[in-house]
């Protein structure tokens, strides 16, 4: 395999057909970050549906306190 700087090979197996897609490292990392964000959002949605989580007003109040501490 020829090594190309800043390129990450990704193997994709679909219906027993192998394919290799070449993407830049930056695009690969961006895609991974997006996937992680989607996982976190899905987990949050499940928590909301289960009645778990935190009250928005309480979270915003705590955020205000943290911001005040940072500005002091």
pLDDT, one tens digit per residue, over 19-63 is 677 888 888 899 999 999 999 999 989 988 998 888 889 999 999
Which H helix or E strand runs over 14? strand 7-14
More confident residue, 5 or 44: 44
Q: Under DSSP, is residue 40 helix (H, G, I), strand (E, B) or coil?
A: helix
pLDDT band at 70 (very low <50, low <70, confident <90, very high): confident
Q: What is the pLDDT of residue 55?
A: 85
CA dist., res. 19 & res. 12, Å (int): 5
Supply the pLDDT for residue 11.
59
């Amino acid at each position: 395999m020829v090594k190309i700087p800043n390129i990450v090979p990704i193997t994709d197996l679909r219906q027993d057909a192998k394919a290799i897609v070449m993407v830049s490292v930056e695009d690969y990392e961006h895609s991974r970050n997006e996937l992680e964000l989607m996982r976190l959002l899905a987990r949050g949605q499940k928590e909301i549906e289960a009645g778990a989580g935190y009250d928005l007003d309480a979270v915003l109040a705590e955020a205000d306190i943290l911001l005040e501490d940072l500005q002091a």
